[in-house]
Amino acid sequence: MYLDSAKKVEIFTQYGQSATDTGSAESQIALFTHRIKHLTEHMKQNRKDHSTERALTGLVGKRRSLLKYLKTRDIERYRAIVKALGLRK
């Protein structure tokens, strides 16, 4: 499996405030980004997988909503997570 509990703990430790910080915007954005990268690779190989395409679109929308929330609340945290994940160029 591409996303087991050890990988989640690693993501939450790196981008959240602790290993159990699963609810902060930064940790959720990092988790969504990891899942989006995995599904993007899957879609490159399986172009006709429409259910995965729909799930990918939903994840991108959720991540965009969280980024928008973070940008309005705390611009410094927004800039830090965008830079850490390399989302904007």
pLDDT tens track for 33-59: 999 999 999 999 999 999 999 999 999
**What integer pLDDT is reported at residue 89 of this predicted model?**
59
88: in domain: yes
35: in domain: no
9: in domain: no
13: in domain: no
83: in domain: yes
Query: Phi, psi (5° rounding) for residue 46?
Result: -125, 80
- The domain in which residue 56 lies consists of 50-89
27: in domain: no
Please report the DSSP string for the chain in residue order: --S-HHHHHHHHHHHSSSTT--SSHHHHHHHHHHHHHHHHHHHHH-TT-HHHHHHHHHHHHHHHHHHHHHHHH-HHHHHHHHHHHT---
Q: What amino acid is encoded at 21 in this protein?
A: D
64: in domain: yes
Report the share of the chain in percent with pLDDT over 70: 99
